[in-house]
Amino acid sequence: MSDTNETSTDTKARTRTVFLLAHTGRPAAIRSAELVVQGLLRAGLGVRVLAFEAADLPLPQSVETVPEATPEVLDGCELLIVLGGDGTLLRGAEFARASGVPMLGVNLGRVGFLAEAERDDLDKVVDRVVTRAYEVEERMTLDVVVRRNGDIVHRDWALNEAAVQKVSPERMLEVVLEIDGRPVTGFGCDGIVCATPTGSTAYAFSAGGPVVWPEVEALLMVPISAHALFAKPLVTSPTSVLAVEVQPGTPHGVLWCDGRRAVELPAAARVEVRRGEVPVRLARLHHASFTDRLVAKFALPVSGWRGAPHSH
């Protein structure tokens, strides 16, 4: 009897396991999840999903389900495949960061800069996962601290951005910006976005910030609708500490991290943002340049381009 247990344990240990996270509210995600699961199982890989998502998916009995959405559910998994739009991919990033398991995103939404593949690529995704034909890169994160009267009242993190925003539509948020312990400027605004290069194509982009290539190590600070002459986007060293001080006489604000987690900011709150200690690991299938990705995602007009002259 013990021999049988040992054999089954050895077999289980040898089985490669992939965790699948999907936005099951989308019909496209349900169909895509079916195709990915079938392909992985045919190749002999194990698949694990959250129980509440499994209830919406027509999955075979061999798929392992886990009840709770905690980082521990990825124990023993070599990869996290996420199917969905930006919101689902950011949810997957929370798992990826906490577990250290690389995330491979399949975009079922509109822009999807965090995604590595589109829904038309599902066969290729399965094949690359099965043959381990992917590379893993690390993306910078942000560690965020909220202080009140010098005391830390909240800690958070972000992959894209930490945004300090006004709550009251009729009154601006009065803030003072600080870089590396020195004041830069103060003004009334709708908010301030502190972003990573990964987040430069997200909220910071909408606020008028620059597009920063992912391999550039830097932090961004982008004002939103600032009532000031000097309210330009700032790009700082990755070792800088950014701070936004909410002024005492201003209405309270709110801190949003990746548009997913919010905490109220009382007047006189101070938000400090620095490079995160723990990166998010992303699985990459191909070496397409970020320039090509940018052109494709935003459908940028490039007709007339002749390319660099050939040297003879």
* Cα(183)–Cα(137) distance, integer angstroms: 35
pLDDT of the residue at 11: 45
Mean pLDDT of the chain: 90
Calculate mean pLDDT across residues 138-154: 96
What is the structure's pLDDT at 52?
86
Tens of pLDDT, residues 6-40: 434 444 445 899 999 998 887 888 889 999 999 99
Query: Average of pLDDT values for 133-151?
Result: 95
pLDDT score at 1: 40
pLDDT tens-digit readout, 30-71: 889 999 999 999 999 999 999 988 888 888 889 999 988 788
- Active-site residue, 86 included: yes
Neighbours of 86 (CB within 10 A): 20
Mean pLDDT, residues 261-289 taken together:
93
**Of 86, 156, 190, 258, catalytic:** 86
How many whole angstroms separate alpha carbon 248 and alpha carbon 161?
Answer: 24
**pLDDT, position 14:** 59
Least confident range from 201-205, 287-291, 300-304: namely 287-291
- Distance, CA of 246 to CA of 81 (rounded, Å): 39
81-90: per-residue pLDDT in tens? Answer: 999 888 999 9
Could you tell me the pLDDT band of residue 5, with boundaries at 50, 70 and 90? Answer: very low
Pairing of strands 253-257, 161-166: antiparallel
Q: What are the tens digits of pLDDT across the range 99-109?
A: 999 999 998 87
